[in-house]
């Protein structure tokens, strides 16, 4: 979801290493292999580095994840900040308190619940406010991170959240560098989700990110992660959907791109407002994806997390604004553990037995080492990359979007030093309570907080009383 973007007209379609036993995935009639949600919080307040745990940023609530898993979710996207994990540089030392907290969350998801954890550096192709241009540094960052999770067979690596306004060849090269770093760390069995330029939008993927079809992976486990929102500018900053069919309409071209290029895709972010038009549109989006499950492997809703308050898309159990409205729709498409597993050959090599645990400084968060062995997962086999994919990619000509009309939404604006865009709370109307929303892009509700709370920027689209 972008915090700020150029408006596209709707007509444009605009710890402990708990190692579970080998698993096979059960594919239900919906066709999905994964369906779940993002667990947002650890990436908050990216303009405050390192920030303070418990006030600036938050790790997911494991009891809430448990509820969602019990309801049928089998994948959880875990956003984090590169600057908090490796504060000095992408080639520098790891902040072990932050790493241990990330590991704790991942171990709970994969080891105790038997679900998948999609780890997501939520940085928009930036580090310390600047576009990442050093592919060697980016490769080194990913080699360090993947080395920490090389034996976690249910970890999936998301190269970076929503590259945008970047040279297209650079986006290709960064993704390729991430793949190289991950594999060189010894993480050779896990899937890698690559994201594209222009906020990784599904609606423009075929025209903007066509060159990414030439990415190569020695393990042949690349999945193309796209994002899709249903409001007028595809930004995910409004509860209003264009119409009831906009979900399926906006991913049609991406579906064709995946099939034409023999690739697999995943919708890493999607959501809709709490109203009947959006509800139908979201259902239509998921229906389209499941009907085309030869190319779409699943999706994660944006978002859940412990401190969203009354955020319009929150499905945090049980009082998230969208939880009771949208969870029943998600349930229709969850991977059903009661169905017969499909016989799809697996290219995964799952680690077995135990492994020694690296010794980390104090502040290691205790986690359960119990492995859930009741889930049988059988992973899809991805198509073999042709030899022609080794050639240097051809970069398509991309038309520049309109330069005169802007909307401030979910983007790095105000998140990174030097940003020219600003986001301020709207004019005060009433009083918000602790942890409730008090401002952000398009917000028309209360902007002052009950004492002793203060209205605090979390992202440009979300201010909160803390």
Q: Which two tokens stand for residue 437?
A: 């929303």
Phi (first) and psi of residue 66, to 5 degrees = -60, -45
Contacts of 261 (CB under 8 A, 6+ apart): 213
Q: How far apart are CA 331 and CA 283, in angstroms?
A: 11
Q: Which of 43, 269, 316, 415 is catalytic?
A: 269
Q: How far apart are CA 244 and CA 380, in angstroms?
A: 31
- Token look-up 């994919």 returns 389
Indicate if 83 belongs to the active site.
no
The answer for 200, left when phi > 0, alpha when psi is -120 to 50, beta otherwise, is left
CA atoms within 13 A on the CB side of 248: 14
Indicate if 148 belongs to the active site.
no
CA 255 to each of CA 32, 86, 457: distance values in angstroms, whole numbers, following the listed order? 15, 36, 37
- Token look-up 């809703």 returns 301
Going 307 to 313 to 315 to 320, the CA torsion angle's sign is positive
Q: Which of 83, 139, 162, 225 is catalytic?
A: 162
Q: How far apart are CA 16 and CA 220, in angstroms?
A: 29
Q: What amino acid positions are annotated as catalytic residues?
A: 162, 269
């Amino acid at each position: 979801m972008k915090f700020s973007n150029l408006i596209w007209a709707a007509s444009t379609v605009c710890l402990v290493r708990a190692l579970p036993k080998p698993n096979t995935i059960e594919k239900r009639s919906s066709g999905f292999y994964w369906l779940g949600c993002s667990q947002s919080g650890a990436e908050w307040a990216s303009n405050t580095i390192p920030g303070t745990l418990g006030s600036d940023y938050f790790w997911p609530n494991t009891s809430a994840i448990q509820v969602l898993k019990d309801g049928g979710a089998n994948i959880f996207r875990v956003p984090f900040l590169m600057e908090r994990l490796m504060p000095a540089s992408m080639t520098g030392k790891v902040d072990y308190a932050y790493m241990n907290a990330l590991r704790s969350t991942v171990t709970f998801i994969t080891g105790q619940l038997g679900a998948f954890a999609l780890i997501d550096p939520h940085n928009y192709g930036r580090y310390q406010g600047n576009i990442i241009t050093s592919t060697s540094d980016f490769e080194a960052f990913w080699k360090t991170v993947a080395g920490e999770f090389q034996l976690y067979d249910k970890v999936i690596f998301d190269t970076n959240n929503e590259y945008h306004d970047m040279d297209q060849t650079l986006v290709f090269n960064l993704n390729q560098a991430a793949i190289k770093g991950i594999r060189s760390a010894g993480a050779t069995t896990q899937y890698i989700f690559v994201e594209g330029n222009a906020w990784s939008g599904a609606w423009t993927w075929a025209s903007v990110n066509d060159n990414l079809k030439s990415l190569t992976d020695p393990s042949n486990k690349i999945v193309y992660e796209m994002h899709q929102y249903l409001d007028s500018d595809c930004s995910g900053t409004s509860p209003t959907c264009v119409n009831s069919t906009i979900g399926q309409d906006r991913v049609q071209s991406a579906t064709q791109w995946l099939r034409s290029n023999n690739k697999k895709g995943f919708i890493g972010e999607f959501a809709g407002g709490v109203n009947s038009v959006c509800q139908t549109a979201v259902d239509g989006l998921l229906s389209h994806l499941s009907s085309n499950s030869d190319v779409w492997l699943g999706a994660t809703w944006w978002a859940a997390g412990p401190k969203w308050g009354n955020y319009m898309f929150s499905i945090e159990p049980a009082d998230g604004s969208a939880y009771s409205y949208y969870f029943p729709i998600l349930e229709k498409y969850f991977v059903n553990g009661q169905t017969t597993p499909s016989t799809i050959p697996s290219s995964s090599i799952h680690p077995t037995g135990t492994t020694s645990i690296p010794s980390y400084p104090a502040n290691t968060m205790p986690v359960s080492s119990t492995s859930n062995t009741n889930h049988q997962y059988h992973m899809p086999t991805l198509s073999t990359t042709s030899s022609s994919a080794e050639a240097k990619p051809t970069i398509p000509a991309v038309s520049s979007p309109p330069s005169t009309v802007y909307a401030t939404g979910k983007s790095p604006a105000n998140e990174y030093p030097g940003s020219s865009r600003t986001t301020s709370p709207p004019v005060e109307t009433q009083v918000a309570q602790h942890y409730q929303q008090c401002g952000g892009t398009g917000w028309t509700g209360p902007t002052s907080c009950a004492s002793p709370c203060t209205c605090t920027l979390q992202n440009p689209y979300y201010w909160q009383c803390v």
